[in-house]
Structure 1
Amino acid sequence: MRVSPAELARAKDDLDWAYDLVRAAMDGEDDRVGGTGKAWHAFDFLLDRRGIELPIVVGAEAIVETPEADPDDDEYVEDLAHDWGYGSPRYLTAEQVAAANALLGALTEQDLSRGVDQAELERADIYPMVWDRPDQLSWVTHHLPYAQRFFAAAATDGDAVICWLD
């Protein structure tokens, strides 16, 4: 979710407030919320394969430090206060968002999948395990134009981005 630097600062101080902000935006179909759905892991894999080291999909910085524990452990879940999905939320600063915008803006869908064999994703255990079906790379790469628009708008507005896997 795109957030202003002030909203990010508040989110880092009050994770309950951040959770409520995100859920309200998702419920209201706010255009500041975006994502790649189940293609997140493959999209991240393809970006990494292109040499993009900035963790655009999962965020670069932890909002809160969570204990090293099993996510199924009740104490771990209590420490997060809310169920954000898979682990605690992370974020990209406004500067990292601007860098992500530049990196994504230089790519095409063809660039993202060039030289990639779906068997490579299967061998790497990339979620979801659909790589034995034809044309799954296009299912992943079709998210690129949306991600480009999302990060372009965030960069233009000077926004940071809170990331989580739900």
Structure 2
Amino acid sequence: MNGNWLRVTPAELARAKDDLGWAYDVAQAAMDGAGERVDGTGKAWHAFDFLLDRQGVELPIVYGAEAFVETPEAEDEDDVTEDSEHDWGYGPPRYLTPEQVAEAAATLGGLTEDDLSRGVDQAELARADIYPQVWDRPDQLSWVTHHLPYAQRFFAAAAREGDAVICWLD
């Protein structure tokens, strides 16, 4: 399970709202190529979100704040239909607007790797059932926090260009 981000222009975001299949194809092409449009936290997504939350970051930078589609409250996950042709992974993608991207860039830009890990005991992540379950191994916090500089550059570039960001787990 990996956390992913895709930079899109406001026009591309508008098109994605109307055609998630098109957005899926754009995301796959970006992931297959080399470029600065796509990034993410890999398997560290849940822990990265956990550490941001501990810093008081309310904007869901990892997951996205806005929904493309309404997902019904289902008692059984099988009640939610998936678009098998465009399987984003673990649920439909979400997004951050250009304004939220600018907020994310400012928030991330004010943090250091030490800020994210200061006062955190890996046992706390184990107790919180944070994916993946690696918290019994030493130095796993640095594996998570090393994503911060990449996230800072990604969101700073997106904010500079006025881009939105599509977020998904696969």
Q: Is this a same-fold pair by TM over 0.5?
A: yes
- Which residue of the partner structure matches residue 145 of structure 1? 149
Q: Is the Cα contact below 8 Å between 1:67 and 1:76 reproduced in 2? A: no
**Structure 2: segments with no counterpart, 5+ residues:** 1-5
- Which residue of the partner structure matches residue 162 of structure 2? 158
- Of the candidates 117, 122, 125, which is equivalent to residue 118 of structure 1? 122
In the TM superposition, residue 74 of structure 1 has moved relative to its aligned partner by 7.8
Q: How many residues align?
A: 164
In the aligned structure 2, how far is the partner of 1:83 from the partner of 1:14? 14
In the aligned structure 2, how far is the partner of 1:84 from the partner of 1:74? 17
- Of the candidates 60, 67, 73, which is equivalent to residue 62 of structure 1? 67
Of Structure 1 and Structure 2, the greater strand share is in 2
In the aligned structure 1, how far is the partner of 2:156 from the partner of 2:150? 10
Q: Is the Cα contact below 8 Å between 2:72 and 2:80 reproduced in 1? A: no
- Which residue of the partner structure matches residue 25 of structure 1? 30
Structure 1 outlier segments of 4+, above 2 Å: 66-71
- Of the candidates 24, 41, 49, which is equivalent to residue 46 of structure 2? 41
Cα distance change of structure 1 residues 118 and 18 upon mapping to structure 2, 3 Å threshold: same
In the aligned structure 1, how far is the partner of 2:73 from the partner of 2:105? 32
Cα shift readout 1:42-75 (whole Å, capped 9, x = no counterpart): 000000000001000000000111233444x386
In the TM superposition, residue 81 of structure 1 has moved relative to its aligned partner by 5.0
In the aligned structure 1, how far is the partner of 2:56 from the partner of 2:72? 30
- Which residue of the partner structure matches residue 133 of structure 2? 129
Cα distance change of structure 1 residues 84 and 144 upon mapping to structure 2, 3 Å threshold: same
Cα distance change of structure 1 residues 75 and 42 upon mapping to structure 2, 3 Å threshold: closer
Identity over aligned pairs, percent: 80
Cα shift readout 1:52-103 (whole Å, capped 9, x = no counterpart): 01000000000111233444x386124x752101110000000000000000
Query: What one-letter code is carried by the residue in structure 2 that aligns with 1:163?
Result: C
In the aligned structure 2, how far is the partner of 1:100 from the partner of 1:87? 22
- Which residue of the partner structure matches residue 90 of structure 2? 86
In the aligned structure 2, how far is the partner of 1:33 from the partner of 1:45? 22
In the TM superposition, residue 137 of structure 1 has moved relative to its aligned partner by 0.1
**Structure 1: segments with no counterpart, 5+ residues:** none
In the aligned structure 1, how far is the partner of 2:80 from the partner of 2:137? 39
In the TM superposition, residue 28 of structure 1 has moved relative to its aligned partner by 1.4
| Partner secondary structure for residue 99 of structure 1 | helix
Give the structure-2-normalised TM-score: 0.92
